[in-house]
Structures are given as C-alpha cells and as structure tokens.
Structure 1
C-alpha cells in the first residue's frame, strides 16, 4: 500500500472517530466471508458502522485524535474491526448476541460514554449502559407515577364518599 493511501485511510478513520460518539474494537479472527457479510448486515440494521482496519493505521488515527486512547494500543493485535455508533450499548448487545454460539466476534476494547473499557469481561457492563432515550423514558415514568397515585386516590376517595353519602341518605330515620 502506498504512503498516500495510508494517509487517506488514517484521515478517514480520524473523521469517523470525531463523527461517532462511541466505538468498539472487536476481534473478528476466524470469521469467514459469509459470516462477516451477515454481521455487516446486522450492524447496518442496528445503525452501527463496521470497518475492518489495519491495526497500525488505526493506531496512528488514535494517536492523532484529541482524546488520549493510550490504553487501547495494546489491544491492536490480530484481526480488528471497529464498530462506530452513536448509541453506546447497541454494539455491545450485538457482540453478545453474535458471540454466544461461537465466541466470535469478541470484544477487545471500547470507548463508550467518554470512558475506555479494555477486555471482554466488560461486555456485560457495556450492555447495561442505558441510551439517552432509555434514561428519558425512565425519568418520565418516575415523574408520572406519583401523579397517577394521587389521581387514583382522589378517584377512589370520591367513590367512597359518594357511597357513604348514598348509604346515609337511604337509611330510614
């Protein structure tokens, strides 16, 4: 590969690092063309951009980034694919789902929610990260709960009061 081509690839990787908020480094050693193609389709459906990269070129792109990715450098061995995304837990769920049967793909490291995770043991923690929409939905549900309880109590209270008054009214004197 020519030096100019390498520079272009490094520049494009740098742009992707800036464009996407999160990325995962995944070991795809042992995937054949058919399995890789199926994985790419699943990534596309999940709005995850999968790019198989040369480790040295990714290393240089990470070095040129404004963020310190030093802990990730040791994971750049073997066949590496980068999963770029804007929702932190989507690639983790995809990796966990796909890796159940064969162990491929395996998580090498991840940069999610401005935090670096190194090692496959962090996969469950990454799956548990809630997206912005999930957090908003939980907050809305928590805010609605007390209001629903008050309304329910008021409605049942009016039924009770109405029943007591009706019973008292029907009672012979």
Structure 2
C-alpha cells in the first residue's frame, strides 16, 4: 500500500467514524475469513459494517475525526464496527457471535460521540432493537390514548346535547340581540305618533266651532234699521 492509498484509507475510516451513530471496537484475533463474512452479514441487518485496518492508520483516522477515546482502544488486533443504524441490534449481533464462537471480545467504543465501556456495550446488546422498542412504545401508549380520545368524544357529545336542550327550551333565544330590538322601538314610535297629532286636530275643530258660532250670532242680530222701524 503506497502513501496515497494509505491516505485514502485514513480519509475513509475518519469519515466512517464521523458518520456513525456508534462505533464498537473488538479484538478480532482467531476469527477466520468465513466467520468474518458471516458476521458482516449479520451486522448488515443493523446497517453496520466491520472493518479491520492497521492500528497505525486507524490512529491517524481517529485523530482526524476527533474521536480521542477510540484511540485509547488501539492496543493489539482491533477491528471497528461502524453502526449507522440500530446500535442495540449491532451490539446484539456481536455478542451473539462471541457467545457462539468464543471470539470477538469487546474493547469499548463510542455512542453519539460519547465513550462507552465494555459493560455498557454488553448492556446495550441485551436491549431490544429499535423496531421492537417502537412496537412496545406504541402498545403502551395505545390504551391511554384511546381512552383519552373516547373521553374527549363523550365530553363533546354531552356538551352538544346540553346546548341542544337549552336551545329547545328557548333559553338561548330569550334575550333578543340588539339588532332585533330596533323594530320594537320603531313600532312603539309609530303607535305614539297619532297621539302627538291630536292637539292639532282639536285646535282645528275648535276654530271651526267658533266660526259657526259667529255666523249664527250675525244671523240672529237685527240690523239698526229694523230696530228703528220696530220702535
């Protein structure tokens, strides 16, 4: 491997470290090519890959990626498992392979940039995968959410029923809105209008009576000639 090829490997490993959700370091001593191929297939289900690189190149990649805690694990034969998907499922695949073959001891690793110990990786391997966790989470929430939805639905139906009863009893329409009061005021004004015109009609009738009385008085009063003649 020439200098350029080594530089390319360093770049690739550094990029894998930065892009991974978790990185698990294992001691790969004693593993065969066939076993390594089988393990890589299992890790594929978790969107994880196993990579064996010389410690000298890996150390440069670790420094370039800023993952100092991984550099401390580069003692003896070390392979990195780069996890981009389900960390629990990847840890489970490694733990199962180790149990079946008595190979591949955990050395430590990182998760989301934080260092994790061997004990923590083993604990992670005992967790259910993300799909199983999602199913359990949905199952836990389903019943309370269903009850809440039903409760809210019953509350809304009850409120609608009460409002309907109030409307049927006429309580909602008991107070007329301001727009409906205007016709009533106009009707009252219309009824009072004739009463205000009554005095004018009375004065007219009185004047007519006085004129008639004056005419009668002039008719009944004799002229001066007639009074003299009678005298």
Equivalent in the alignment of 2:72: 74
Distance (whole Å) between structure 1 residues aligned to residue 31 and residue 12 of structure 2: 25
Distance apart, 1:135 and its partner CA: 5.0
Rate the CA distance shift 1:129–1:58 in 2: closer, same or farther, 3 A. Answer: farther
**1:135, 1:43 → 2: CA distance?**
19
Map of 1:170 onto structure 2:
none
What corresponds to 1:28 in structure 2? 28
Q: What is aligned with 1:121?
A: 119
Over the aligned positions, Cα root-mean-square deviation in angstroms equals 2.7
Taking structure 1 as reference, are residues 147 and 9 closer, same or farther at Cα in structure 2, changes over 3 Å only? closer
After TM superposition, the score normalised by the length of structure 2 is: 0.56
Point out which structure has higher relative CO (alpha carbons under 8 A, 6+ apart).
1
Query: How many residues of Structure 1 are paired with residues of Structure 2 in the alignment?
Result: 150
Aligned residue number for residue 97 of structure 1: 96
TM-superposed CA distance for 1:82, in Å, is 1.4
Unaligned runs of 5+ in 1: 152-173
Higher helix residue share: 2
Structure 2 residue matching 1:10: 3-state secondary structure: helix
Segments of 5+ residues of structure 2 without an aligned counterpart are 151-231
Q: CA deviation at 1:42?
A: 2.0
Structure of higher CA gyration radius: 2
Q: Measured at CA, do residues 14 and 97 of structure 1 come closer, stay the same or move farther in structure 2, by a change above 3 Å? A: same
Segment drifting more, 141-150 vs 82-91: 141-150
Worse-superposed segment, 137-146 or 43-52: 137-146
**Maintained 8 Å contact 2:63/2:71:** no
Q: In 2, distance between residues paired with 1:38 and 1:123?
A: 21
CA separation of 1:131/1:36 partners in 2, compared to 1, >3 Å: closer, same or farther? Answer: closer
Cα distance between partner residues in 2 of 1:134 and 1:113: 21
Instruction: Indicate the residue corresponding to 2:142 in structure 1.
Output: 144
More strand by share: 1
Could you say which residue in structure 2 is the equivalent of 1:18? 18
